[in-house]
């Protein structure tokens, strides 16, 4: 019995080992074969029950797991979706930010372009579309056979660099040499010689950068022929009193000659001046008014000579300009410019003064650094002239008791002139 049991146990062990080997194969998991049918049946029932239980549990676990996965998936999906939406929104914001940045860059680029345009504009001058140039002869009057240059006045709207890039064509009268010429970047025509006398004109044409062009007629030039000499314009007085009302003043011209030609015209001009032939007049009404004519004398060789005429000033003896208070240099009056005025002498008469007594009126010059010392003055009808020092004698009765006299002093190119009364 024991032997049979031992044999049965050995056989069972061998069968189990074989079943174990066959069940394993290449699989890592295996189930030992049960050699006992009853045990096998019990094991199968237990296994079936376990499998059912496992199956049920598995289904529930799978459901639970599936539910969990669904929830997790839903949660993940929602979170992911939310995250994606947020991310998308963030990306949108980023995109918007990028757009703003791009817009900023565009603006920056536009600003840079404007800056570049501005720099380019500042570096290259903008020439006005309408340019007006003026031209005139360097000398208003020349003699026949001599020369002068015509020049362009540079307007403030153009720079020197623009002028240097321009072309200028000059056209002169037929008797001129040259009669026409073109200059590049030059404000002067250069020397032009005239063979005949008379009034001459010139025409200027120009072309500037950007094809800007224009034309101008220059101021006239007087070319004299046979000269006129010896003319002298005079007036009765350089001051006239309007104390009693308006006064008429006059000028005359005399001594004009022109060898080989005839004097044909006298032309008077100036404010308030009326002239005909060799005489002219003006009317002065108020203190401080001044009249001075301009006189042009012409001959039949187209020569025009300008003659200087003195100015006449109106004074009022009842409205003095200066008051001299006493004798000596300590009471001197100093003048820094030429004056036409009235001077009052506020000096008491002396008891022992005779009717034929005189007093000395003295003027001295302060040359400064460039004065020549020349003095010219007039007190009433008494004139005086000198270098650094000038004097005249006047009746004592004319300078006492607040007497007033017309007074003129020409300072010239001196710094000043001081005048005083001495015994």
**321-324 contacts, C-beta under 8 A, 24 or more apart:** 321/407, 322/407, 324/399, 324/420, 324/421
Q: Over the stretch 322-356, which tens digit does the pLDDT of each residue have?
A: 999 889 999 999 999 999 889 988 888 777 778 78
Sequence-separated (6 or more) residues with CB below 8 Å from residue 410? 338, 375, 376, 377
> What integer pLDDT is reported at residue 416 of this predicted model?
95
Q: What residues form DSSP beta bridges with 345?
A: 324, 403
> What integer pLDDT is reported at residue 88 of this predicted model?
38
> What integer pLDDT is reported at residue 397 of this predicted model?
86
Q: How far apart are CA 324 and CA 328, in angstroms?
A: 10
Q: How far apart are CA 247 and CA 157, in angstroms?
A: 49
Q: Over the stretch 194-206, which tens digit does the pLDDT of each residue have?
A: 999 999 999 999 9
104 pLDDT exceeds 70? no
Q: How far apart are CA 114 and CA 46, in angstroms?
A: 93
Q: Over the stretch 134-160, which tens digit does the pLDDT of each residue have?
A: 999 999 999 999 999 999 998 888 888
Please, are residues 146 and 193 in contact by the beta-carbon 8 Å criterion?
yes
Taken in order of first residue, the domains within the chain and their CATH numbers are 134-224 (2.60.40.1080), 232-315 (2.60.40.10), 322-422 (2.60.120)
* pLDDT confidence band for 127 (50 / 70 / 90): low
112 pLDDT exceeds 80? no
- For residues 84-94, average pLDDT: 39
More confident residue, 16 or 361: 361
- 36 by DSSP, 3-state: which? coil
> What integer pLDDT is reported at residue 211 of this predicted model?
80
Q: How far apart are CA 304 and CA 298, in angstroms?
A: 5
Q: Over the stretch 255-303, which tens digit does the pLDDT of each residue have?
A: 999 999 999 999 999 999 999 999 999 999 998 899 999 999 999 999 9
Read off the tokens for 205. Answer: 């044409």
For residue 155, the 8-state DSSP code is: P
21 pLDDT exceeds 60? no
For β-strands 141-143 and 221-224, DSSP reports them as parallel
């Amino acid at each position: 019995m024991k032997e049979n049991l031992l044999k049965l146990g050995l056989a069972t062990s061998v069968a189990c080992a074989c079943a174990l080997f066959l069940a394993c194969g290449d699989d890592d998991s295996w189930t030992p074969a049960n050699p006992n049918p009853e045990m096998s049946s019990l094991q199968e029932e237990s296994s079936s029950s376990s499998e059912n239980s496992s199956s049920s549990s598995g289904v529930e676990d799978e459901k639970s797991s599936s539910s969990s996965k669904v929830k997790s998936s839903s949660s993940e999906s929602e979170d992911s979706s939310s995250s994606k939406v947020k991310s998308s929104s963030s990306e949108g914001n980023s995109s918007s930010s990028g757009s703003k940045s791009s817009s900023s860059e565009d603006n920056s680029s536009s600003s840079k372009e404007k800056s570049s345009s501005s720099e380019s504009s500042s570096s290259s001058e903008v020439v006005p579309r309408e340019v007006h140039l003026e031209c005139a002869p360097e000398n208003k009057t020349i003699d026949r056979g001599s020369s002068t240059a015509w020049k362009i006045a540079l307007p403030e709207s153009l720079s020197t660099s623009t002028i240097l890039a321009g072309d200028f064509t000059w056209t002169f009268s037929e008797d001129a040499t040259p009669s026409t010429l073109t200059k590049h970047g030059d404000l002067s025509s250069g020397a032009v010689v005239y063979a005949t006398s008379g009034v001459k004109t010139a025409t200027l044409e120009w072309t500037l950068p950007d094809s800007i062009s224009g034309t101008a007629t220059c101021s006239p030039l007087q070319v004299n022929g046979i000269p006129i000499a010896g003319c002298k314009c005079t007036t009765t007085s350089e001051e006239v009193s309007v104390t009693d009302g308006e006064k008429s003043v006059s000028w005359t011209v005399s001594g004009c000659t022109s060898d080989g030609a005839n004097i044909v015209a006298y032309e008077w001009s100036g404010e308030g001046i009326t002239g005909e032939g060799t005489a002219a007049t003006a009317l002065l009404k108020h203190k401080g008014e001044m009249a001075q004519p301009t006189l042009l004398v012409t001959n039949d060789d187209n020569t025009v000579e300008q003659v200087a005429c003195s100015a006449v000033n109106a004074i009022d003896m009842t409205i003095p300009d200066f008051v001299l208070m006493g004798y000596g240099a300590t009471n001197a009056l100093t003048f820094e410019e030429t004056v036409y005025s009235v001077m009052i002498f506020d000096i008491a008469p002396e008891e022992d003064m005779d009717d034929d007594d005189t007093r000395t009126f003295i003027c001295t010059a302060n040359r400064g650094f460039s004065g020549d010392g020349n003095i010219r003055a007039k007190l009433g009808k008494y004139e005086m002239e000198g270098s650094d020092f000038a004097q005249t004698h006047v009746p004592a009765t004319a300078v006492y008791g607040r007497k007033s006299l017309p007074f003129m002093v020409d300072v010239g190119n001196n710094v000043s002139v001081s005048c005083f009364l001495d015994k």
